[in-house]
């Protein structure tokens, strides 16, 4: 493939992060307890216990906690650890403010994607899906597995039609003609080319469908599911940022499952790749659910955080992450102890200067006050 500078790279270095900028950075790592890190207009970052295993190029999702625990946990899945792909999977329980190591992927992978959706046919509850990536041989794979928290076990599922790494994934309403919630696999690189390919997995039918592609190929992009933009109804899938093979892009597109079509929406305020995304209540002063674009390469590790409001089709700049990072994961669930509401969690990645980090930070964007 081509890097962000357009130069060919050896297979051993495929999907390394885009060039970073070395800078002096004061890192605050809180291993026990929580620490409010920044606050602007009621929006607060909190630093939480780091992951037991430092990783980048990982994926994240929120799902029920593993057997023996209660509540919803944040899962960090796969990634690059010690210079190679790993199957390590860990869960953060906000009730105990602690990480647990759970069953690993059967196929270690980095530069994969993840989403939470109903478990596949024959199982009940909500599962974490791991999609695509690069294996330990540096080969691009179509591997898909689902983790069932109730059994603490991964199941192998039908492979994606198109092997891909550096892709994005999210769960949303299934496309036109199908019922239920599907897992979407968006963009990425096949090992020979960047692609605009979009495919969806239906847990009920245990089958993949090929959908309309993005307007152009993108890698290192992020995805989230939120209400459709103004003028459309229902819930849409958003593909945010990334790299087109020669440069970072600010492109944002929304896919409407009800019409089986992509639409352009307002671009990010600035181009970013290797970012993460999640959907959560909009920041204070706004109503509804927003898409949050977290960190990434601008180029160089950035702590930039912006939220997109589908109702106004406008991006809002929020307080930056305390730890600038790229190649990280993000997920949304209930806030940690001491806070209320729903938080966006940012986990792992590469900090400034290319240093791997296990940092976990949570952004609490309180919803707009009620008129009651």
Check if the beta carbon of residue 113 is closer than 8 Å to that of residue 131: yes
Edge-to-edge strands of the sheet including 35-40?
Answer: 35-40, 43-48, 360-364, 342-347, 329-334
In this prediction, residues 272-280 reach a mean pLDDT of: 98
Give pLDDT tens digits for 70-94: 999 999 999 999 999 999 999 999 9
In this prediction, residues 169-190 reach a mean pLDDT of: 98
For the chain, the helix, strand and coil percentages under 3-state DSSP, each to the nearest 5: 0, 45, 55
Check if the beta carbon of residue 292 is closer than 8 Å to that of residue 244: no
> Can you give the pLDDT at residue 42?
47
> Can you give the pLDDT at residue 239?
98
Check if the beta carbon of residue 34 is closer than 8 Å to that of residue 338: yes
Give pLDDT tens digits for 294-312: 999 999 999 999 999 999 9
Of the two residues 8 and 69, the one the predictor is more confident about is 69
> Can you give the pLDDT at residue 15?
63
Give the pTM.
0.90
Q: How far is CA 50 from CA 46, 76, 91, 154, 362, in A?
A: 12, 11, 11, 24, 12
Give pLDDT tens digits for 339-351: 889 999 999 999 9
Using CA atoms, how far apart are residues 98 and 95, in angstroms rounded to an integer? Answer: 8
In this prediction, residues 101-108 reach a mean pLDDT of: 98
In this prediction, residues 95-107 reach a mean pLDDT of: 97
Q: How far is CA 260 from CA 107, 162, 205, 211, in A?
A: 32, 19, 19, 7
Where do the domains of the chain lie, and which CATH numbers do they carry?
A: 34-364 (2.120.10.80)
Residue 368 has pLDDT above 50, yes or no: no
Percentage above 70 pLDDT, the chain: 87
Give pLDDT tens digits for 192-216: 999 999 999 999 999 999 999 999 9
The three-state secondary structure class of 133 is strand
Q: How far is CA 246 from CA 186, 223, 236, 237, 338, in A?
A: 19, 21, 28, 25, 44
Using CA atoms, how far apart are residues 62 and 132, in angstroms rounded to an integer? Answer: 18
Check if the beta carbon of residue 330 is closer than 8 Å to that of residue 346: yes
Q: Name the CA dihedral angle for 320, 289, 49, 346, rounded to a multiple of 10 degrees.
A: -50
Check if the beta carbon of residue 204 is closer than 8 Å to that of residue 150: no
Count, in order, helices (H) and strands (E) of the chain. Answer: 0, 29
What rounded mean pLDDT belongs to the chain?
A: 89
Give pLDDT tens digits for 60-72: 999 999 999 999 9
Q: Please tell me the total number of residues recorded for the chain in this structure.
A: 372
List the single range of 235-244, 328-337, 358-367 with lowest mean pLDDT.
Answer: 358-367
Provide the CA 51 distance to its chain's centre, in angstroms. Answer: 16
Using CA atoms, how far apart are residues 229 and 314, in angstroms rounded to an integer? Answer: 10
């Amino acid at each position: 493939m081509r890097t962000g500078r357009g130069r060919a790279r050896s297979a051993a270095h495929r999907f390394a992060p885009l060039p970073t900028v070395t800078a002096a950075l004061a890192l605050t790592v809180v291993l026990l307890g929580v620490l409010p890190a920044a606050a602007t207009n009621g929006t607060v970052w909190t630093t939480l216990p780091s992951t037991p295993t430092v990783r980048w190029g990982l994926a994240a999702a929120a799902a029920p906690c593993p057997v023996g625990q209660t509540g919803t946990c944040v899962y960090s899945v796969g990634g690059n650890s010690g210079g190679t792909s790993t199957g390590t999977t860990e869960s953060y329980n906000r009730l105990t403010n602690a990480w647990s190591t759970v069953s690993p992927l059967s196929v270690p992978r980095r530069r994969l994607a993840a989403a939470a959706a109903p478990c596949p046919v024959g199982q009940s509850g909500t599962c974490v899906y791991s999609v695509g990536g690069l294996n330990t041989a540096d080969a691009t794979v179509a591997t898909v597995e689902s983790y069932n928290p109730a059994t603490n076990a991964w199941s192998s599922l039908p492979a994606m039609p198109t092997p891909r790494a550096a892709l994005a994934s999210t769960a949303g309403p299934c496309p036109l003609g199908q019922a239920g919630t599907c897992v979407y696999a968006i963009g990425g690189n096949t090992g020979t080319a960047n692609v605009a390919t979009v495919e969806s997995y239906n847990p009920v039918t245990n089958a993949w469908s090929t959908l309309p592609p993005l307007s152009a190929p993108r890698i290192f992009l992020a995805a989230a599911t939120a209400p459709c933009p103004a003028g459309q109804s229902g819930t849409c899938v958003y593909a945010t940022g990334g790299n087109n093979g020669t440069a970072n892009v600010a492109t944002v597109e929304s896919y409407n499952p009800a019409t089986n079509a992509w639409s352009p929406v307002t671009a990010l305020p600035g181009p970013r790749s290797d970012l993460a995304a999640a959907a959560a209540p909009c920041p204070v002063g706004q109503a509804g659910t927003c898409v949050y674009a977290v960190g990434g390469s601008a180029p160089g590790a950035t702590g930039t955080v912006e939220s997109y409001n589908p109702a106004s089709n406008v991006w809002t700049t929020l307080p930056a992450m305390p730890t600038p990072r790229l190649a990280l994961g993000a997920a949304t669930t209930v806030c940690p102890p001491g806070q209320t509401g729903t938080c966006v969690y940012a986990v792992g990645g590469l900090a400034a200067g290319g240093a791997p980090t296990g940092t976990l930070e949570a952004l609490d964007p309180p919803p707009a006050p009620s008129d009651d």
